[in-house]
Amino acid sequence: MKTLKKTLLCAGLVLGLQACAEPPQADPLAEHKAEMKTATTDLKSQMAAGEKLYQTHCSACHQGDGQGLKGAFPPLAKSDYLMENRNRAINTVIAGLTGEVEVNGVKYNAVMPNFAYLKDDEVANIVTYVMNSWGNKGFQVSASEVTTARGVNIQVPTGAPADHPTTSKTAVSYEGAPSGINPEDTVAMIDSEGPAMNQEEFAYATKIYFERCAGCHGVLRKGATGKPLTTDITREKGTDYLKTLITYGSPAGMPNWGTSGDFSEQEIDTLARFLQHEPPEPPQWGMEEMKASWKVHIKPEDRPKKPQHKRNYENFFSVTLRDSGEVAIIDGDTKEIVNILKTGYAVHISRTSASSRYIYTIGRDAKVDMIDLFMDPPQIVSTIKVGLEARSVETSKYHGYEDKYAIAGSYWPPQYTIMDGDTLEPKRIVSTRGMTVDTQEYHPEPRVAAIVASHQHPEFIVNIKETGKILLVDYSDIENLSVTTINAARFLHDGGWDRSKRYFLTAANKSNKIAVIDSKERKLVALTDVDQIPHPGRGANIEDPDFGPVWITSALGNDKITFLGTDPEKHADNAWKVVRTLHGQGGGSLFVKSHPKSKNLWVDAPLNPDPAISQSIAVYDINNLDKGYEVLPIAEWADLGEGPKRVVQPEYNAHGDEVWFSVWNGKEQRSAIVIVDDKTRKLKHIIKDKRIITPTGKFNVLNTVEDIY
């Protein structure tokens, strides 16, 4: 353990999180003493240096003004907790903090990571800056004090911290979810320049990487939402540094896989060595592979000509049962489970054909399933595997092309596939590899994120995540495919239509921007700055009492709910600008939702570290937005017993008078669907069934067809 502590200290002190430097030194205490001699001592200089460090390492949680986030991260401004104990303030930065604390009379129970990797003068500058900012009249801390506090045997918490506050386990599961790629399909790339490994170790590390790392760092390790992990970087860092980083994480968002208990020491060692070998490349997936996977279970001519049941299938819900690899079809009128179908793993979305007859689902394993709602019960009538990993599917909606085509976008290989709308027969495959929108450098793995169907032209609008480009794919002549490229920003993710269905608003979530596409004129009309990882889902459209029609997004990185004006004709001064910002329960929101018949705006926060927030829903009165939100205890109403019980994705029924919520529990625990009366905000119904396993996304047929949100 002593050796590990010294390794951590040396690696953290010399290399840090953002920089490349020399290998760790053998004697951390000697380095501390050397730093102490050269450390900044005058208050003005310390404040300037401390402010820069604070903005890099602390502001994401405690905010730039030191006010913290309500219900999640305590304020540092006028903090009695920090001001009353000098040594505690220093040690909190060095060693982190877990467990309940009380700050200014309010209790908090989030996790603060340790910043032991920072140099003594850096810790001193951060503490000094905090203690003398935002009305704090505190003290000045020297590097020598930090050295004394740290001691020879630096104590870094192990085993206790769970997750980095900006990257919770759930967030990691969401962004870096297990890849659908089978490690057995790859070729081991063991070479002499990397540390010693055998084939078994390499195969095992490949599995770990695809399950936990590829979602952020990319299959080829070129970097995506996470930093690149190419061999020129990893070999320079070395095994010890990589082990330390994997074990303890980083404030930049790298989870602490070791101290959280997710990875064993052996797994960390194996993964650290693996990262210094060339990444194993999965196979490509072309027309031959797609046609081999393509199955038409029931031919179009053998399908029913009209519904075989008397149910209102336009009020069916397609509900993702994430961990069971299934989709539940639920009758929105009777609340009955109509059927449960085996689909691809962890279905990401369901999309409905323009006729409302077919539901198309896509799993993270890139398997597309086509479900016929006319059948009693609904059945899968065709399947295809469009790659090894994917997230998006959509169908043609332009007049004259209803139900004619379907399109699926893949993470691996990076490409999209246009298919026959009746059978899923693959027609065209188009690679998305190319140059980034900003640095103009080649990216080998630009993944396809959201896809929507234009209502203005026979086009699919396709988000290319890593390059930051939006493609308008004209399907009127797929043999001579015409594609218009619009430069936006990285990294493109989700988005939806304004109420006119002319303008597509989509998040470039790591650039903290919303791109606005005029689908009629086929051009970018705005690139609007928002804040801290916008994540709209499809967003929400309401009539703001002060600003007219607006589209709304929430965020992963903070508690802000951002309103953008969407009416360039009658409210030109507000168009594509942030006109209103509300504060919700906290960061970690995935979806906002409203309905043209509703006076409510619903905001979830399933990734918030505070269970009280992640297990509830915030709801605003659209006619009185300044009043704030009401909290509804959705998970408590479900009465499920133990488990995380995350409340996720409000979805309206076809009538617009009910809101459905998934209570997403563990795979071996009880989950539920909770239904709330939109007008009264009272509990209306709970769907509890042992077959409802880890429900996440829910997609109402009519609302999905009509793009109502």
List the catalytic residues: 213, 216-217, 254, 493, 535
List Cα–Cα distances, 160 to 241, 252, 261, 288, 488, in angstroms.
Answer: 21, 20, 9, 50, 42
Sheet holding 658-664, edge to edge: 646-652, 658-664, 672-677, 683-687
Please state, in angstroms and rounded to a whole number, the distance separating the CA atoms of residues 8 and 3.
9
Alpha helices in 327-478 (DSSP H): none
Neighbours of 149 (CB within 10 A): 21
Strand partners, 370: 360, 382
Distance, in Å, from the CA atom of 56 to the CA atom of 97, rounded to the nearest integer, reads 19
- Asked whether the beta carbons of 90 and 145 are under 8 A apart, the reply is yes
Distance CA 708, CA 179 (A): 31
In angstroms, the Cα distances linking 199 to 191, 194, 203, 280, 286 are: 11, 13, 6, 12, 28
Q: Cα separations (Å) of 441 from 226, 368, 468, 524?
A: 17, 32, 12, 22
Q: Check residue 436 and report its DSSP letter.
A: -
Residue whose entry in the numeric block shows the structure tokens 């609340």: 335
Write down the residue that tokens 């599917």 correspond to. 393
Find out whether 236 and 198 touch, Cβ atoms under 8 Å.
no
As a whole number of Å, the end-to-end CA separation of the chain is 54
Q: For residue 583, what are the contacts with CB-CB under 8 A and spacing of at least 6? A: 70, 559, 560, 561
Helices (H), 360-463: none
Beta bridge pairs of residue 145? none
User: Which residues are CB-neighbours of 13 under 8 A, at least 6 positions away?
Assistant: 24, 25, 28, 31, 32, 117, 118, 119
Q: How buried is residue 535: exposed, middle or buried, by Cβ count under 10 Å (0-12/13-18/19+)? A: buried
Contact yes or no for 643/670 (Cβ under 8 A) = yes
Phi and psi, residue 380, nearest 5°: -75, 125
| Residue with tokens 């390790």, as numbered in its chain | 221
Q: Taking each helix axis from N to C terminus, what angle separates 143-150 and 120-131, rounded to the nearest 10 degrees?
A: 110
- Alpha-carbon torsion (644, 173, 109, 590), positive or negative: negative
The encoded tokens of residue 469 equal: 């480009």
CB burial of 79-98 (b: ≥16 within 10 Å; e: otherwise) equals bebbbeebeebbbbbbbbbb
Count CA within 13 A, CB hemisphere, residue 232.
2
Peptide bond preceding 491 in cis form (omega within 30 of 0): yes
Candidates 479, 653, 498, 643; CA nearest to 576 is: 498
Q: Which letter does DSSP use for residue 278 in this model? A: P
H or E element at residue 635: helix 634-638
